Structure 1
Amino acid sequence: MLEKIQVLLQYLLPKYWITYLLGLGASWKGGWITRYAIQLFIHVYKIDMKEFDNPNPSNYTTFNEFFTRKLRNNSRPIDTNPSTLVIPADGIITQIGKINQTNIFQVKGIPYHLDGLLAGHDNIINYFNDGNFVIIYIPPQNCHRVYMPCTGTLREVLYIPGDLFSVHPKITKNIPNIFSRNERVICLFETDFGYMAQILVGTVIVGSIETAWLGAITPPREGIVKHWRYPNTSNIEDLIILQKGHEMGLFKLGSTVINLFDNKKVILNNLLQPYDIARIGMPLAQGCNQEK
């Protein structure tokens, strides 16, 4: 019954206004009020601050500074095998496996299609037919920064406007095609293991989605698709290359990351299953047909 009420509220609540107002609150320098709220958040969610670059809660002047806190160097060792792709975010693996032609997975008999997730962009969809995917949910208490599974050269970025349904696993299994309906930022990389898409999915309360090269992509929420291609000049120095384990983006509060991998170029770690804990740097997959 409670789950049904939570789903109903997703349709009834003014999610954009909630997100806007809480975003303002998260950027407010509230002095002792902010410090107390951060301390309470740490206590409730049992966050180990020793894992982070700035472990003293009193040093964060806003909730956004706290939400986007950086991990301490070496707190997440990155698997150094050049053929190993690594987990890009701390969180929970909600789905992982093969893409069946263009169907990513099914929830209650309803398939998720690449066409919807990638907003009908056939030039991107074709890379991932019969490929592999992983979906990682980032709870509010986790690090909200997202890292590269492998070294990649950025080719395209798409911002797709959409709804702001919660992406908590209890909600996603009850709202059809939620990842195709929510706002998202799709980043396409060319790697030694074929093409890889890293998709940052928006959700209620998330004040911002940022990438390392564009900064804040949302807000503003203008309701229009935005498309960037790289490099945007003929100068080779303008190539954007992100190394394995390097930061590629962040959320201001937790959300979901979806990775898509090229067909026959990546073999997923068969030890990983839905609801496993994900930790940045752990082996996610093995690349094959690596180009020298």
Structure 2
Amino acid sequence: MRRTLYRLLIELTNGRFTSYVLRKFAQSRLSSIIIPSYAKVFHIRQDEMEKDLKEYGTLHELFTRKLKKGKRSIDTEVSSIVSPVDGVFADHGPIDQAKMFEIKGKQYSIVDMLGTEERAARYAGGTYMVIYLSPSHYHRIHSPLSGTVTERFVLGRKSYPVNAAGMKYGKDTLSKNYRSVTEIESEGERLALVKVGAMFVNSIELLHEREVVQKGEEMAYFTFGSTVVLLFEKDMIEVVQSLTSGQEVRVGEKVATRL
């Protein structure tokens, strides 16, 4: 009953019109009124921001802020895979031969997530990794490794929340939400960087249009907090053993090693 009610409320409030209204507000000068309280409530790290808080004219500008130079360093180890975002490391594990994985007790389909059986087949027997971004985090997305972009595509329309309640009661949030996917080939192996939209504001803006991408290079940004899912081919990586669910990670921090 609780799950049904939750989903009904989301469906009633998560349409194109409500998304449009919220986006317009966040991009308006009127939204600047709540920036100080927003920064306080969500404990924004103002010492890391490129500009002073009062220089952001809209919430959208604050959401998509850049960092001061030198605030993030990219792991230089040739075999390292780095975190593409600042966020909370939610989980990692195997993708089974049926192209499914489980997180928080729920099963997710790689076929649904990537849109076709052909795309999903590459990751059967591989590894998944999930990193959640809250509204407090830096929202820009960087490449976890160097390689060549083989495909970019967008799937889905609506988005359930990706917070704890959304993951528990939502309907296949990671594989059915609005999502922007970038596949990168590196040393003959494939990685899928799945950028999952958050409730109401589905905007994921791509900044990188070239074929070649370098580890740590900026690729896109979320308009609001959301989630990144990384999918790796079989026997491609080994996740850093010290990583645990709920741990904070930062852009450029080593999260796995190439095998």
**TM-score (structure 2 length as normaliser):** 0.92
| Secondary structure at 1:188 match in 2 | strand
**Distance of 1:208 and 1:113 partners within structure 2:** 23
**Distance of 1:246 and 1:202 partners within structure 2:** 21
Q: Is the 8 A contact 1:15 1:165 kept in 2?
A: no
Match of 1:81 in 2: 77
Match of 1:29 in 2: 29
Deviation at 1:193, TM superposition (A): 6.6
Q: Is the 8 A contact 1:193 1:262 kept in 2?
A: no
Segments ≥4 residues shifted beyond 3 Å: 1-8
Which of residues 171, 192, 200 is equivalent to 1:197? Answer: 192
Percent identity of equivalent pairs: 28
Which of residues 36, 41, 63 is equivalent to 2:38? Answer: 41
Quick one: which amino acid aligns to residue 60 of structure 1?
Y
**TM-score (structure 1 length as normaliser):** 0.82
| Secondary structure at 1:82 match in 2 | coil
Q: Aligned pair 1:9/2:9, yes or no?
A: yes
Match of 1:283 in 2: 254
Deviation at 1:273, TM superposition (A): 2.1
Q: Aligned pair 1:59/2:30, yes or no?
A: no
Q: Is the 8 A contact 1:119 1:180 kept in 2?
A: no
Q: Aligned pair 1:153/2:124, yes or no?
A: no
Task: Point out where structure 2 has 5 or more consecutive residues left out of the alignment.
Answer: none
**Distance of 2:77 and 2:103 partners within structure 1:** 33
Aligned length: 258
Quick one: which amino acid aligns to residue 22 of structure 2?
L
Match of 2:207 in 1: 212
Which of residues 113, 117, 120 is equivalent to 2:113? Answer: 117
Per-residue CA deviations over 1:178-212 (Å, capped at 9, x if unaligned) read 22221111111111371110011112232511111
Per-residue CA deviations over 1:43-101 (Å, capped at 9, x if unaligned) read 111112111211x1111122111110001122122111111111111111222112122
| Secondary structure at 1:93 match in 2 | strand
Match of 1:173 in 2: 168
Larger mean Cα displacement after TM superposition, 182-191 or 168-177: 168-177
Q: 1:2 to 1:74 in 2, by over 3 A?
A: farther
Which of residues 83, 86, 92 is equivalent to 1:90? Answer: 86
Deviation at 1:5, TM superposition (A): 6.1
Q: Is the 8 A contact 2:160 2:171 kept in 1?
A: no
Give the structure with higher Rg (CA). Answer: 1
Q: Aligned pair 1:260/2:231, yes or no?
A: yes
**Distance of 1:70 and 1:152 partners within structure 2:** 24
| Secondary structure at 2:157 match in 1 | coil
Deviation at 1:176, TM superposition (A): 3.5
